[in-house]
């Protein structure tokens, strides 16, 4: 990729250090531009079956998720880069959303690795303005002027240009369309991470409408959404070419970008989301203490958990109905709900076998994951990959998840990792009955396999890499 419009020149052996940056690319999911400066040939070896055992070539042509490439942390040491990040929001509150947590985890880690990270984002809630960071050790946050939480890309762009004049940025990263496509044309060192695209949103609308009761009329909102999304898909296909590089966070999204959106292979890179394994891990004692604290009886036969916003598109109509039927025959099965939203009261109305805890910060989520036997994600959104899936696996918990290409192809890639269901009540209820019959001991075995897979894919454990630099491209 072009690097600040500088002339091409040979790279010295010391500059091969840039390959180490990919360790964090793979670890947390960010634009691959750090490695896109140079790659030509790579050799990999690893004992993990899920990884690419031997591979060579231009990394930009790889069709598999880069998480499969193992690297050793700190070898060779990275060359510090100046990185600009455009993000609509930055997690200042106690319960940030998934994309906010992803951005914070990723860019904080990159800053700690010695990269100079500048985040351009919307103003925080009043009274929550953090102290300015040190770009050499933590992201420097540039809040633009305006209303809290209201993204104004033009103001952020002005701040970027001012900072870029002091010292040009090596890499620019846009979280989705935080940086509009008409501005993106000007940047040759830009990568955009797609947490969802319009074509997948169309699929989501369809699955949500399929939850409608037989005699329930189609809502005007659904009709309006369907009519508007097709032009949006066409629009995206036309303007996506303005972005230099595209980071897809699931294998299926990568295929759509290449095959439907017609983006050249060398400009589409699949890098799955990742989580901080220092914050999420197996802790049996913590889980037992949390169960006792929230009132789960010692004789409970099985504890299920769900986390996230309690809204329709997250699949709560399915889980609510399926679980209400399940507990008519299983008095020892409990459901812990970590989240808030329109379906909160409905879950509470199901009685004592459902514990609704409201929104939880990451530190409390660690205890939540360790308290359950199996994690349920009934999402009706094919786009993106919920961090909750990876956090649960990292905590040693198996999954019950919607059978969408993104989840099937990137997360539940082995039957041992859990169960998948078609996004309807009957299929979900059948799976719930299956896990009740399996019991907590069998689910714990599955959870062990999940933890091993998560550790190999979402934190990129590695053996070695041999990297041969050529020229900046």
Lowest mean pLDDT among 270-279, 303-312, 348-357, 426-435: 270-279
Residue 329 has pLDDT above 90, yes or no: yes
Of 290, 319, 302, nearest to 423 by C-alpha is 319
| Lowest mean pLDDT, pick from 129-133, 275-279, 404-408, 466-470 | 466-470
Q: Mean pLDDT, the chain, as a whole number?
A: 80
With b for 16 or more beta-carbon neighbours within 10 A and e for fewer, the 428-459 pattern comes to bbebbeebbebeeeebeebbebbbbbbbbbbb
Work out the pLDDT band at 332, boundaries 50, 70, 90: very high
359-378 per-position pLDDT tens digit = 888 778 999 999 999 999 99
Mean pLDDT, residues 2-16 taken together? 38
pLDDT of residue 48: 37
467 forms beta bridges with: 42
pLDDT tens, residue by residue, 419-434: 999 999 999 999 999 9
Residue pLDDT, tens place only, 100-157: 777 777 788 778 778 899 999 999 877 565 555 555 557 899 999 999 889 999 999 9
Does pLDDT of 182 surpass 80? yes
Tokens of 395: 């905590």
Pick the CATH number of 13-275 from 3.40.50.2000, 3.30.470.30, 3.40.50.620, 3.40.50.2300: 3.40.50.2000
Residues 21, 24, 28: CA angle, nearest 5 degrees? 150
In which residue ranges of the chain is CATH 3.40.50.2000 found?
13-275, 284-457
> What pLDDT, on the 0 to 100 scale, is given for residue 75?
53
Choose the weakest-confidence range: 197-211, 289-303, 321-335, 375-389.
Answer: 197-211
18-73 residue pLDDT tens: 333 433 443 333 334 444 443 333 333 333 345 555 667 777 787 878 777 765 55
Q: For residue 470, is pLDDT > 50?
A: no
Question: Contact at 8 Å (CB) between 387 and 101?
Answer: yes
Q: Return the pLDDT at 23.
A: 37
Lowest model confidence (mean pLDDT) among 2-11, 73-82, 266-275, 360-369: 2-11
Neighbour tally for 210: CB within 10 Å: 11
For residue 192, pLDDT over 80 is answered with: yes
Give the residue with greater pLDDT, 321 vs 56: 321
The predicted structure's pLDDT at residue 52: 53
Assign 13 a pLDDT band (cuts: 50, 70, 90): very low
What are the structure tokens assigned to 325, written together? 């039927």
Of residues 302 and 17, more confidence is placed in: 302
How would DSSP label each residue in 345-382?
HHHHTT-TTEEE-----HHHHHHHHHH-SEEEE-----
Classify residue 3 by its DSSP letter.
-
- With 80 as the cut, is the pLDDT of residue 326 above it? yes
Q: How far apart are CA 316 and CA 60, in angstroms?
A: 39
CATH domain 284-457 topology: Rossmann fold (3.40.50)
pLDDT on residue 70: 66
Beta bridge partners of residue 193, listed in sequence order: 175, 247
User: In the predicted model, is pLDDT for residue 258 greater than 70?
Assistant: yes
């Amino acid at each position: 990729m072009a690097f600040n419009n500088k002339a091409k020149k040979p790279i010295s052996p010391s500059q091969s250090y840039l390959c180490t940056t990919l360790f964090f690319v793979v670890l947390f999911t960010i634009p691959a531009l750090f490695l896109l400066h140079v790659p030509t040939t790579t050799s990999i070896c690893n004992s993990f079956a899920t990884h690419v055992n031997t591979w060579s070539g231009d990394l930009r042509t790889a069709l598999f998720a880069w998480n499969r490439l193992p690297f050793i942390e700190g070898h060779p040491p990275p060359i510090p880069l100046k990185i600009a990040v455009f993000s609509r929001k930055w997690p200042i509150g106690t319960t940030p959303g998934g994309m906010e947590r992803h951005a914070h985890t990723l860019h904080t880690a990159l800053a700690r690795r010695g990269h100079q990270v500048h985040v351009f984002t919307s103003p925080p809630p009043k009274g929550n303005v953090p102290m300015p960071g040190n770009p050499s050790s933590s992201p420097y946050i540039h809040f633009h002027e305006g209303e809290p939480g209201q993204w104004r890309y033009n103001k952020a762009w002005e701040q970027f240009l001012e900072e870029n004049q002091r010292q040009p940025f090596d890499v620019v990263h846009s979280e989705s369309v935080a940086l509009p496509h008409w501005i993106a044309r000007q940047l040759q060192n830009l990568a955009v991470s797609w947490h969802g695209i319009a074509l997948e949103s169309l699929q989501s609308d369809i699955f949500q409408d399929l939850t409608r009761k037989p005699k329930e009329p189609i809502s005007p909102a659904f009709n309006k959404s369907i009519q508007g999304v097709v032009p949006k898909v066409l629009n995206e296909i036309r303007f996506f070419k303005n972005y230099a590089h595209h980071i897809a966070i699931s294998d299926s999204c990568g295929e759509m970008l290449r095959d439907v959106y017609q983006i050249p292979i060398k400009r589409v890179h699949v890098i799955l989301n990742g989580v901080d394994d220092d914050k999420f891990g197996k802790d049996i004692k913590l889980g037992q203490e949390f169960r006792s604290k929230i009132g789960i009886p010692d004789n409970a036969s099985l504890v299920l958990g769900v986390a996230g916003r309690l809204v329709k598109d997250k699949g709560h109509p399915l889980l609510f109905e399926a679980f209400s039927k399940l507990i008519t025959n299983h008095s020892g099965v409990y459901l812990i709900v970590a989240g808030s939203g329109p379906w909160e009261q409905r879950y509470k109305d199901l009685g004592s076998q459902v514990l609704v805890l409201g929104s939880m910060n990451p530190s409390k989520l660690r205890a939540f994951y360790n308290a359950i036997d199996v994690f349920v994600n009934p999402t009706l959104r094919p786009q993106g990959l919920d961090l909750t899936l990876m956090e649960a696996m990292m905590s040693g918990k198996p999954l019950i998840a919607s059978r969408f290409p993104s989840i099937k192809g990137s997360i539940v890639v082995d039957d041992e990792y859990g169960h998948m269901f078609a996004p309807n009540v009957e299929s979900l209820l059948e799976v719930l009955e299956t896990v009740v019959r399996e019991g907590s001991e069998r689910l714990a075995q599955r959870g062990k396999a999940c933890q091993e897979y998560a550790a190999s894919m979402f934190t990129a454990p590695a053996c070695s890499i041999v990297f041969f630099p050529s020229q900046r491209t």
